[in-house]
Structure formats: C-alpha cells, structure tokens
Structure 1
Amino acid sequence: MKVSMNPRIKLIPGQSRKGGTVDLDNSYNLEIRDVRTSDTGKYICQLSSMNPREVIHTLVVLVPPKITFMTPAARMEVAKGSTVYLECHGDGNPAPTISWSRKNDVMPNGESSNEKEIIEIRNADRTAIGMYKCSADNHVGTPDTREVEVSVIYPPEIELERRMVHTGIGFEVQLICVIHAEPPANIHWFFGTAQLATTERHSQQNHGSRLRI
C-alpha cells in the first residue's frame, strides 16, 4: 500500500463498530486535511491479496461562487443612442450561474433579470439609467454580487403635465414643467418674450420646474 508524502494526507487505522481497533492490514481511512480544489479527483484503494480488488472514491470539492471579472468596474457614462455592454464572469464549483438584474427596476428589455454573462443595451436613453447588479450563484454558500452604475448623457426633454390650465381672477395657479436631462438643465420661465423673475406674484420652486403665480 502506497502512502502519499503530502503532510496533509495520511492513513488512519480503521475502527470496528464497537469502537475497537482492528488489524491495520485490514482497514484504513484516508484523511485529507485543509482540503483544496486541487484535491478533486478519484482516489483508489487497492487490496492486495489472493483476489486483488480496488475501490474507487470520487472526491468533489465544492467552492462558493466568486466574481472574477466585471466591466465596467463601478460606473459607465455614455451618450444617448450608444450601445452599452455589461460583462461579468465568475468561478466556483460547480460553475456558477451568472445573472444581471437592475436595482429597484426591470431591465431595459422589460425582463426582471438576464441569465447571461454579457448583456447589451442598444440605443441607450434615460430609461437605461440606474444601478445594475451582477450575481454569481451555484447554491454553495452565499451568491457573490457586484454593482455598476450606468449614466446616460442626453439633452433636455420637456414633459408637461397639462398644456391648458384654467383659473379665475384673484386665484393662485401653479404651472408645472418636468425636465429630464443629464447633466441637469437650467430652467427659465417666459411670458411671451419676457423672462420671468421672482417677484411677489411670481415664484419658482423645485429648481424652477414649478411656477407659482
């Protein structure tokens, strides 16, 4: 019987069910300390006798998932209309499943998550802005996750709540103009061709998006 010279591996005399030691020539246990992924494989116990026999044990070392590569690393800034690629790879045993999800929102394609290592966002606009999370999971331990922020630079887009607002003489009215822009835009209100300034009758709120008259 061959014994490995590796100090982590040793033979231990087997024991009977009653706890008594049996003949070393009849029973041995193989002990591997500080198990590593390199220990994965087949271990053969050979019995040398009149009728030689061998018993094969297969050792599978389970390894929790770990993300080994992700790009971009933390933040990506692109122009409107660009194509965005998010890439993530992981390692573990068994090989982990890589999936992408979007924090507090659905993916740009309408799905809640994508089980892909690389996702593509075409014609990026403001709806693609947000935090994207890569997850590596093989059901061994806790999934490994990383996040990346996607920012899209785009010109101002104006969104009006109501184009026509009715009020009466002596009443107060509030006009709302929602502006989407990255970087944030400066907002100015005009009456005809005259720019409105803050007075006793005119006041602007929320960085100019609300005009109170």
Structure 2
Amino acid sequence: MVRLSTARSRLLAEIVTALILFGTGSAQRVYTSQSNRVASYEPEFLEPLKNVTVTEGREATFTCVVDHLGGYRVAWIKADTKAILAIHNRVITHNNRMNVIHSDHKTWELKIKDVKRNDSGEYMCQINTDPMKMQVGYLNVVIPPDIEEKDTTGDVMVPEGSTVKLFCKAKGFPEPRIEWRRENGKAIVLRPPNQPKNEVVLWEGPELLMDKVARDDMGAYLCIASNDIPPAVSKRMVVQVHFHPLIRIRDQLVGAPVGTNVTLECEVEASPKSINYWSKMQNNTGPQIVNSRKYINEELIINEYTLNMKLTIKTLEPEDFTAYKCTAKNSLGEVQGTITLYEIQLLRPSTTAQDPIVDTIGEEIDHITDNNIDIPRSHDRHRGGDHAPRQGIQSVTVPTPPSRPRNTHQVPYSPSENALDPDGTTSVYPSTLLLFITAISALMAKLWTST
C-alpha cells in the first residue's frame, strides 16, 4: 500500500470535508426540524462584493450580504488557485491569518490579517444553489515606497570641474517614481557635453548626472521616492566640491583718523573649509593677530563655502597704520590678501579777519549809545535854521545792540550759500550790514548837531 504525503493527505481531507458540508446539485435543499417545511425562496445577493485595496501588513475584509439563504451555505474561494478558504462558519484553509464572521442572518465576512503581497487576487463569495451563484471581489495589496540603501549613492566629494553621478533605487507597489531636488530650493544645473547649460528645479529618473560641477553646485540633494501610497520617502546626499582657496578684497586702502576704530574685511571661498587668520606686517614680517582688547577677529558664514573675515582695530595709534594680511589655507593650497591702513589728518580750525572788523563796529556803536546821542528825524533839517531839535518833537535814540557772544574756540570762516550774490560774488551778512548802517547814521547825526 502506497503511503500518501502529508500535503496530499491534507488536500484530500479538505475536499472530503467540503463535499460533506457544501453538497452538490440536487442535495441542496434542507428542511428545518421545527417547521418541517422547505424554504420557499431562492437565496440572492443584496449588494455586490466590493474590491479591497489595503497596505501590506494591515487587515483586509470582504463582505458578502445574502438574503433568503435558508438551508443553503456560503463558501469563500480564492479564484486564481481554486482553493476553498471557508464554508459557512468553518475555515477550511490552514492559513491562520484568515477568519470568517457571520454577524447576522444576512452578512458574511472574510477577514485576512497581516496581508502579504501574494494575498492579492480575486476572491469569490459562492452559494451552493443549482446553478451556483457567486460574486467576485479583487484584493489589491499595495506597498509604500522604500529606498534600497545598498543600491543608492551616499555623500560625494569631487574636485571642481569633474563629473558627479548620483543613483537612487526604491522598491514598492506600484513601482515608485524617483525625483531629485536640491535641499536649498535652488535649480539643478546640468551641463551635458556639446549642449547648452540647462537649469531645472525637478529632475525625474533613478540617476542624476552632472558634468563639470562648479562650487555653486555644492550642497545637499534629495532623492524622493513616491507611488501615491503614503508615506513618500527621501534620502539626503551631500555633494562636496573641493577647490583652491580664493580671497576677495573690496577695499585695499582704508583710511581712518588717530583715536578711532576701524574694521578690515576679506571674503574667503574655500572647500574643504580653510584655516583663516590675520597678520600685521612690520618689516616684511607679520605675527598672527589674536583676540585682545586691541583686536577683535570675526567670521560671518555666507554659504557652504564662503565666509567673511573681519578684523576690528580699536583706538588707532600711529604705529597701527601699516599693512595687514588676511590668509586662508586648506589642503589644496594657501592664499593671502593685503589691506593697507593709512592715517587721515583732520583739519585744524583757524581765525579769520572778520572778528576785528565786527569788534570795531561794535565798539563804535557802544561809544555812541553811551553818550546818549539823539538821532533826529530826517525831515527836521528843513524846518528852520535852528539846528537844535524843536520843542514837541521827540528825538530817536538808538537802542543798545545785544552784545555779541565771544567764541570759546576759533572756528574757520567759510561763507555760506546765503552769503553769495546771484552772480557768485560774496555779499556782506545782513546783520553786519545793519550794524554798519546804524553806526554811519549815528555819526551823521552827531555831525549835524555840531554844525
């Protein structure tokens, strides 16, 4: 007697059990023990079996709604393999992830826990009528994207002017799409041979090829994988472009007076990052400058490869006016820049010849007013031969002008715009002219009285 294998024995047992439970053809009608009568209606489906889409690892549920089932039975079958999964309330398959639930007299559910990709396919809800009635629903198991690290590029370091190739591979179902972006939002610069330069914000495909990379191409690039099944995933790749240091100086000559503060600046570009320092040049030698009360060193980072060196010198002294060097050094080389600091001479104030003139006029007015000289009206001269003022006519007395404040320090005289005539010649200040006219009027009145 030939011994059957375990798998074949199990399959045979499933078939025998299914035949016993499900029946065929003319043996479908079942009588109830209580009413002892035959069901009077054929079973029917009340709603279609819906397709189900679920992410791998979650639970999938098919719902089959049957009315007037009577003594007939409901079975669940995997259509592509013809495997009987369950009959009525009993699970036939040995897959412990599957379960059948009969929630009420009409609703039957097939639940599949922790679904796998190979669970995808058609599932049938079948009634053992003659002919058989059935519905088919499709299970679509989807897989979110996942980047395969072993087939994906990591960080890259290349010299300026070389070619960079970045690869990104992802798995999932449906097959993921691959997109490339720069982390800082700038455009990706493509320089294909014998073609014009092309700048794009988004590049699609598993490979990103960049020819003749420049320092502006340096930075982080993102490989983004998506297939409309959340979440999308990304990987960050840093491209380092190495080059010799470069120094830019905006002002090579800087002037400042003694006693003030001054700041010198150098802009440095370098990759890899450079060591930067300042030197004070004296007799063709220059010791390195360190932070102190006299000197302040600062570095302001602008981008991945650019920074601004600043040296602030406080309270300038004569010995500070010399040349200063900014130095940048990395593994590819060294570069220096020179800034010359010179002294600005401040102009010293000087006196002018205006003060003695004004003083003379002021003294003359003071002398006239101190003697209480009356200044007659201009029309008194024509009223009779009496040279003295007539009775009843009030004489005009020149008021004492306000004393002119003396300067506490000498200020150089420079005529203002108001002191120029339209033809460009210098005119007398109005206040000086008024004083001069007043003095002349007083002298004329004195002479008139004496005659």
1:42 is aligned to 122
SS state at 1:72 partner: coil
Give the Cα–Cα distance (whole angstroms) in 2 for the partners of residues 212 and 135 of structure 1. Answer: 51
CA distance in 2, matches of 1:14, 1:168: 93
- The Cα shift of 1:205 comes to 7.0
Deviations 1:117-176 (Å, cap 9, x if unpaired)? 2111111121121111222223333221221111111123344435x7575776876554
Which of 46, 63, 87 is the aligned partner of 2:143? 63
Residue 31 of structure 1 aligns with an amino acid whose one-letter code is K
Q: For the residues of structure 2 that align with 1:95 and 1:14, how far apart are their CA atoms?
A: 38
Q: Could you say if the C-alpha distance between residues 34 and 120 of structure 1 is closer, same or farther in structure 2, counting changes exceeding 3 Å?
A: same
Q: How many matched pairs?
A: 201
CA contact (8 A) 1:125 1:154 kept: no
TM-score, normalised with respect to structure 1: 0.74
Q: Structure 2 CA distance, aligned partners of 1:99 and 1:167?
A: 54
Q: 1:178 aligns with which of 245, 255, 267?
A: 267
Three-state SS of the structure 2 residue aligned to 1:142 is coil
Match of 2:113? 33
CA distance in 2, matches of 1:35, 1:186: 58
1:18 matched residue in structure 2 = none
Larger RCO: 1 or 2 (CA < 8 Å, sep 6+): 1
Tell me: CA distance 1:108–1:160, structure 2 relative to 1, closer, same or farther (3 Å).
Answer: farther
Structure 1 or 2: more helix by fraction: 2
Task: Please give the residue correspondences for 1:34-183 in structure 2 after superposition, counting only pairs within 5 Å.
Answer: 34-69=114-149, 71-73=152-154, 75-109=155-189, 110-161=199-250, 167=255, 176-183=265-272
Larger Rg: 2
1:61 match: secondary structure: strand
Deviations 1:154-209 (A, max 9, x none): 123344435x7575776876554423222344667798x94655685255679687
1:65-94 superposed Cα distances (whole Å, 9 cap, x missing partner): 211235323x21111111111111112233
Does the CA contact (< 8 Å) of 2:253 and 2:340 recur in 1? no
| Cα root mean square deviation, aligned | 3.5
C-alpha separation in 1, matches of 2:131 and 2:285: 104
2:164–2:210 CA contact under 8 A, matched in 1:
yes
Aligned with 2:148: secondary structure? Answer: strand
Q: Distance in 2 between matches of 1:210 and 1:46?
A: 91
Write the deviation string for residues 96-132 of structure 1: whole angstroms up to 9, x where unpaired.
2221221224143233232222111111121121111
| Structure 2 unaligned spans of 5+ | 1-74, 76-83, 86-92, 190-198, 290-318, 329-335, 342-451
Residue 100 and residue 204 in structure 1: after superposition, are their counterparts in 2 closer, same or farther (change >3 A)?
Answer: same
Q: Given that residues 174 and 212 in structure 1 are in contact (C-alpha distance below 8 angstroms), is that contact kept between their aligned partners in structure 2? A: no
**Structure with greater proportional strand content:** 1
1:10 alignment partner AA: N
Using the alignment, how far apart are the partners of 1:186 and 1:143 within structure 2? 41
3-state SS, counterpart of residue 188 of structure 2 = coil
- Give the SS at the match of 1:62: strand
- Distance in 1 separating the partners of 2:178 and 2:285: 54
